[in-house]
């Protein structure tokens, strides 16, 4: 497991059919790779969070096309794809009284690792605790 500070690009826009297609098309045309994405709709508004391989080009492309993106700090966590990993990482956070504000991730059966994106009430403290767990020096 490797936890590190990262950034995600956040876009809020009026919800409409095809909004994610539009965003992904803009980014693919700029050669930007999307490493992780999550979207949610509330009423008439959608919130899309993107972890990309080039946030500068992402923000520029979205701004040039009428969106108002901004970056937010997150923890990028590479974990082994095996049973119990979510339990282990959330146990570390719980023992340190760090509340998880949101989390998203994915893995395919054939892959050994997955990427988890999370934001907590104390990312600065969470990162070394998660890395201690990975190194076997933590309490989890």
State which H helix or E strand residue 132 sits in.
helix 123-135
Indicate the CATH number for domain 74-135: 3.30.70.260
Tens-digit pLDDT profile for residues 95-116: 999 999 999 998 877 778 889 9
Tens-digit pLDDT profile for residues 27-65: 999 999 999 999 999 989 999 999 999 999 999 999 999
Please give the full DSSP string across 46-89, using - where no structure is assigned.
EEEEEEES-HHHHHHHHHHTT---EEEEEEEEEEE-STTHHHHH
Asked whether the predicted pLDDT for residue 138 surpasses 50, the reply is: no
CATH 3.30.70.260 placement within the chain: 74-135
Q: In what order do the strands lie in the sheet with 100-106?
A: 34-42, 45-52, 2-14, 70-80, 113-120, 100-106
Asked whether the predicted pLDDT for residue 139 surpasses 60, the reply is: no
The reported pLDDT for the residue numbered 92 is: 92
pTM: 0.87
State which H helix or E strand residue 71 sits in.
strand 70-80
CATH number 3.30.2130.10 is the correct assignment for the domain at 7-73: yes
Q: Secondary structure of the chain: what % helix, strand, coil (to 5)?
A: 30, 40, 30
- Model confidence at 136, pLDDT cuts 50, 70, 90, reads low
Q: What is the mean pLDDT of residues 114-131?
A: 94
CATH 3.30.2130.10 placement within the chain: 7-73
Q: What is the mean pLDDT of residues 5-18?
A: 95
Q: How far apart are CA 26 and CA 20, in angstroms?
A: 10
Most confidently modeled range among 10-24, 79-93, 106-120, 121-135: 10-24
The reported pLDDT for the residue numbered 107 is: 81
């Amino acid at each position: 497991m490797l936890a590190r500070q990262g950034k995600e690009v956040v876009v809020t826009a009026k919800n409409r059919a095809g909004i994610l297609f539009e965003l992904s098309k803009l980014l693919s045309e700029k050669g930007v790779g999307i490493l992780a994405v999550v979207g949610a709709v509330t009423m008439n508004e959608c919130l899309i969070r993107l972890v990309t391989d080039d946030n500068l080009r992402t923000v520029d492309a979205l701004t040039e096309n009428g969106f108002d993106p901004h970056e937010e700090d997150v923890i990028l966590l590479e974990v082994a794809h095996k049973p119990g990993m979510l339990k282990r990482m959330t146990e570390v956070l719980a023992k340190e009284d760090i509340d998880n504000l949101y989390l998203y991730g994915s893995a395919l059966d054939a892959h050994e690792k997955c990427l988890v994106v999370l934001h907590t009430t104390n990312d600065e403290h969470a990162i070394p605790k998660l890395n201690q767990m990975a190194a076997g020096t933590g309490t989890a």
